[in-house]
Chains A and B, each alone.
Chain A
Amino acid sequence: MMADQRKRRVILLATQLLLGEALANILNKQDDVELIGPLVPDPQNLAGLSEQNPDIFLFINEGNDADQAVATQILSLFPDYPFLQVSTEQSIVRVYTSESHRTSSVDLIETIRALPMKKFG
């Protein structure tokens, strides 16, 4: 299979079992995704996850101290991997990536425009 045809390997981490299963239900239906998990994150063994050769880390973050610590650890251990966090408090996904993009003014402006504006006052 050619590199650009292979499935994206996504490691799904979740402490809430049902939430992990719910997301897995969606991802398992995608032809271009190979899901690893859902796994309950174990802070002692996170480093070993790279042996699964993932393309992306996906973490359901409840926003509590334990989950924030896991998120920080993942970012620290795997700085070169795209890292997606699904918040349970809001219906949002946070995306962290060290991926390089071209730096033409068009790319820069498009990136700026794609980001949501903060509300003041």
Chain B
Amino acid sequence: MPPIRILLADDHTLFREGLAGILDSQPDMDVVGEAGDGVEALVKAKELAPDLILMDIIMPGCDGLEATKQIRQELPDITIVILTVRDDEDKLFQAIKNGAQGYLLKNMSSKVILKLLRGAMQGEAAITPEMAGRMLEEFRRLSHEVPLENGEDADLTRREIEVLGRVATGATDKEIADELTISIHTVKSHMRNILAKLHVGTRREASRIARHKGLV
């Protein structure tokens, strides 16, 4: 059986080299190319036609989520698995929506990652049972979407609802970050999305809607 031809897309040169060494040492894997950003990943995917792309998310210019979407649109036969340090369920859901076959974290051991990559090439989802649980929860939530006062669909993610619920209790960003074990930067990012989706300008207005909808 021919080895799995892999393209690595990660802007961190040192880790990319190290990861290439781990993958190349596997008898059934062959790293055929490396890319430092999403645009380069797209170009090299067209050039090299790999079987599998291991894609980081945070990269300069075109990030890994956007690159995944574009590559899957143009080259649907290529399997793409996200490999990131970010244990962020919004990113996980976005990655899957954009066509990724899996979402792996860099805090996992190479042994686990290699097993999941081989599974991904057989059509299995390269995600941990914990992530699968979060996805099931998200599907359940989607069937009970939170409608806005004007009848529109707020389309808040489960995490955004969790953040909004805590904002409505008067919690600060730091308190929310501690409680949900995420960074303050992530809380602020969720808040920006919440305000935009609810079409309001302040936390107070968002809190009012949250209370009205029974989120607190």
A residues sitting closer than 8 Å to B (CB atoms) are 15-19, 21-26, 29, 62, 64, 86, 88, 91, 93
Contact = CB atoms under 8 A, between A and B. Distances in A.
B19 interface: yes
A19 B107 CA distance: 7
Contact of B85 (A21, A24, A62, A93): A62
B29 to A, nearest CB: 14
**Nearest 8 pairs of A and B residues by beta carbon:** A22-B18, A25-B21, A18-B106, A16-B106, A16-B107, A17-B109, A25-B18, A22-B19
24 contacts: A15-B107, A16-B107, A17-B110, A18-B83, A18-B105, A19-B15, A21-B22, A21-B110, A22-B14, A22-B17, A22-B22, A23-B15, A23-B18, A25-B18, A25-B19, A25-B25, A26-B18, A26-B21, A62-B85, A64-B183, A86-B14, A88-B12, A91-B13, A91-B14
Contact of A18 (B17, B25, B113, B183): B113
A22 B107 CA distance: 12
A25 B11 CA distance: 18
Contacts, number: 61
Nearest to A27: B18
B18 A91 contact: no
A19 B18 CA distance: 8
Given A16-B85, A64-B183, A23 B107 contact: no
A62 to B, nearest CB: 6
B185 to A, nearest CB: 10
Given A26-B14, A91-B12, 9 more contacts: A17-B106, A18-B83, A18-B110, A19-B15, A21-B22, A22-B14, A22-B22, A26-B18, A91-B11
